[in-house]
A and B are shown apart, each in its own frame.
Chain A
């Protein structure tokens, strides 16, 4: 099964949301110079025990009960390893979780980036109370989105208003496009 990078990250975001995070940060660095895509996703959720952390990159690990296999983390690890990258996960119970995954930009197996705006929209739609920080960085530019700033501007109106969600998606994709202008 081939997922684009945005869908892989959305899996990580959903895990962080389920882990009761209050702040979730996604940083995507696309470097032409280093021929590298770097994805960092971190949260201040409940974290994992040493035992669970050791097993979590194994596709047969999950704490859910409705289905036997948990796929999010293991899929992402498999993807990065196939694409000439590395995968690193650190987690502390009661503190949070940090994941870093890289992939070679020019590697033929590296999936498309996918729709990052839509990815953030889906995460916000899943839980609007979390503070999401999204950063997209290239060799010379960067774009930062913070859901807390949007919430402030809306002053009491929900982020879940469909017009707002669509605006967020388009605003993020516009910011990425601008930051990308130096990438080929």
Chain B
């Protein structure tokens, strides 16, 4: 049973984590959540990103944005690095989302096959 009491413990744990980690997170993971995105399945993707980040304590914050203007590619997830570089992943589903976190945020390797560039190349071919 969950009760409001649980929040006290979570608060303490969160404060401890902040102390250990100076200077914010290394990655920002952004999900497009406009109608096109929600209908296209962004909601389970957001859910997965939040869950995996909690379970593995990935060094990222997960945030949302409105329409990215590329509805045909939804659901879209963008990963921003501290130096400003960003990667756009398209047609993301919960499984792909988990892999993006594990490889890109966890290990610093872009998952090339899920990027918008890969999708565009596949279309041209």
Contact = CB atoms under 8 A, between A and B. Distances in A.
B14 A122 contact: no
Q: DSSP majority for the A interface?
A: helix
Interface residues of A, number: 40
Nearest to B8: A153
Contacts of A153: 4, 7-8, 11
Interface in A55-85: 64, 66-67, 70-72, 75
B10 A171 contact: no
B7 to A, nearest CB: 4
B64 interface: yes
Contacts of B53: 162
A20 interface: no
Interface string B24-51: 0000000001111011000100110011
B67 interface: yes
Given A153-B8, A166-B54, A18 B43 contact: no
B29 to A, nearest CB: 11
B48 to A, nearest CB: 11
Interface stretch (A6-14, A46-54, A95-103, A134-142): A6-14
Interface string A150-182: 100111111011111111011100100000000
Interface residues of B, number: 33
Q: DSSP majority for the B interface?
A: helix
Residue with the greatest number of chain B CB neighbours at <10 A, chosen from A64, A157, A170: A157
Contact of B64 (A67, A126, A156, A158): A126
B78 to A, nearest CB: 15
A73 to B, nearest CB: 10
Interface string B54-96: 1000000111101111010000000000000000000000000
B1 interface: yes
B121 interface: no
Contact of A167 (B7, B39, B69, B71): B7
B35 A70 contact: yes
B21 interface: no
Interface of B: 1-2, 4, 6-8, 10-11, 13-15, 33-36, 38-39, 43, 46-47, 50-51, 53-54, 61-64, 66-69, 71
18 contacts: A1-B39, A3-B39, A10-B38, A11-B35, A14-B35, A70-B35, A71-B39, A126-B33, A126-B64, A154-B10, A157-B10, A157-B11, A160-B61, A162-B50, A163-B54, A164-B10, A167-B6, A170-B2
